Amino acid sequence: MKTKFLFFALLLTSFAGFAQQDAQYTQYMYNTININPAYAGSRGVMSIFGLHRTQWVGLDGAPVTNAVSLNTPINNSKIGVGLSFVNDRIGPTDENTISADISYTVQTSETYNLSFGIKGTANLFSLDVNKLNPADAGDPHLQNFNSNFTPNVGAGVYFHSDKLYVGLSVPNFFQTTRYEDNSVSVYKERMNFYFIGGYVFDLSPSIKFKPAFLMKTIEGAPLQLDVSGNFLFNDKFTIGAAWRWDAAVSAMAGFQVTDGLFVGYGYDLETTKLSNYNSGSHEIFLRFELFNKFNKVTSPRFF
């Protein structure tokens, strides 16, 4: 029974863990704080962000992610701080992550800044064995799946201006084990390496275009590449599309409701055989920013 259960759990968590690892976002360019701590405070205002993502709708046990974050510069200093919470549910697993970020920015020219960041993370992983429907519910090995707490640290660099950004980060340096029995690791959090970049082109006084990319590599998993293009009209309305290598195509839209409130939506359509079993993925987010008398309007970038 033990061998059969571990084999089943291995299949389950391989799907959840190795294929995805960190929570996946289509509109990561608005949620950079989750993957790069050097982003903290880079917008020059207090930014509050909330996101809900439902992945692979119609597929039983598919990922559902909720994320909330806050980041802000500290007065007129070179220091930025951030705090984020992510809940990621996949099948019978539930993972809660709380992260604190601190960044330090060096002005390299009149236009460009280079930021360095450190992230500290607390992770709580749990598995509801009642959702596994095992043949032998009394198996003592099924009782070992309790909440598991693991700390971690990460770091990143972020080079940016009002029109350009490039970032390199590793949110978690330490490989941690969520469940291990007799040296058999069923779920491991591995190092995720992120490389991101984007640039805003002024096509006209009222239209901007931003191509962007994200590359993510994980030990034991294929390289992930996201390429996107977004148009911004009159600094109010955003529309664009994205392509995830060998995975999905996406449509994105956003609207600047007020000077401080921005709302966005994204839809993913699978390009793999998985598309036969789901109706796509939905993602919606809100970003609210607090201004003071010195920064009434944000920069023209939309990232």
Q: What is the pLDDT of residues 208-257, one digit of tens each?
A: 999 999 999 987 778 899 999 999 999 999 999 999 998 899 999 999 99
| CA distances from residue 85 to 88, 122, 150 in whole angstroms, order as listed | 10, 10, 15
**Number of separate domains in the chain:** 1
Q: Is residue 203 part of a domain?
A: yes
Q: Is residue 175 part of a domain?
A: yes
Residue 195: pLDDT above 70? yes
282 is in which domain, residue-wise? 30-290
Residue 188: pLDDT above 50? yes
Q: Is residue 15 part of a domain?
A: no
284-287: long-range contacts at Cβ-Cβ below 8 A with a sequence spacing of 24 or more? Answer: 284/51, 284/52, 285/27, 285/30, 285/31, 285/49, 285/50, 285/51, 285/52, 286/49, 286/50, 286/51, 286/261, 286/262, 287/30, 287/47, 287/48, 287/49, 287/50, 287/261, 287/262, 287/263
As a whole number of angstroms, the distance between CA 43 and CA 295 comes to 10
As a whole number of angstroms, the distance between CA 5 and CA 124 comes to 22
- Choose among 126, 222, 117, 223: nearest CA to 171: 117
Q: Is residue 11 part of a domain?
A: no
pLDDT, position 191? 83
Lookup: tokens for 246 = 């060998």
Residue 110: pLDDT above 60? yes
Mean pLDDT over 118-140 rounds to: 76
pLDDT, position 76? 81
Residue 164: pLDDT above 90? yes
DSSP summary character for residue 17: I
pLDDT, position 246? 87
As a whole number of angstroms, the distance between CA 130 and CA 151 comes to 27
Do residues 126 and 147 make contact, with C-beta atoms less than 8 angstroms apart?
yes
As a whole number of angstroms, the distance between CA 283 and CA 294 comes to 33
pLDDT, position 136? 55
As a whole number of angstroms, the distance between CA 156 and CA 26 comes to 20
Q: Is residue 162 part of a domain?
A: yes
Mean pLDDT over 41-67 rounds to: 93
Q: Is residue 12 part of a domain?
A: no
- Choose among 72, 68, 64: nearest CA to 46: 72
- Digit-coded pLDDT (tens) for 257-302: 998 999 999 999 999 988 888 999 999 999 999 876 555 554 546 7
Q: Is residue 296 part of a domain?
A: no
Q: Is residue 113 part of a domain?
A: yes
Distance from CA of residue 128 to its chain's centroid?
A: 24
pLDDT, position 167? 97
As a whole number of angstroms, the distance between CA 220 and CA 216 comes to 12
Compute the mean pLDDT over every residue in the chain, rounded to the nearest whole number. Answer: 84
pLDDT, position 104? 98
Confidence grade of residue 141 (pLDDT, cut at 50, 70, 90)? low
Q: What is the pTM of this model?
A: 0.84
Looking at residue 22, its amino acid is D
Residue 65: pLDDT above 90? yes
Mean pLDDT over 74-99 rounds to: 92
| CATH number for the domain harbouring residue 48 | 2.40.160.40
Looking at residue 145, its amino acid is F
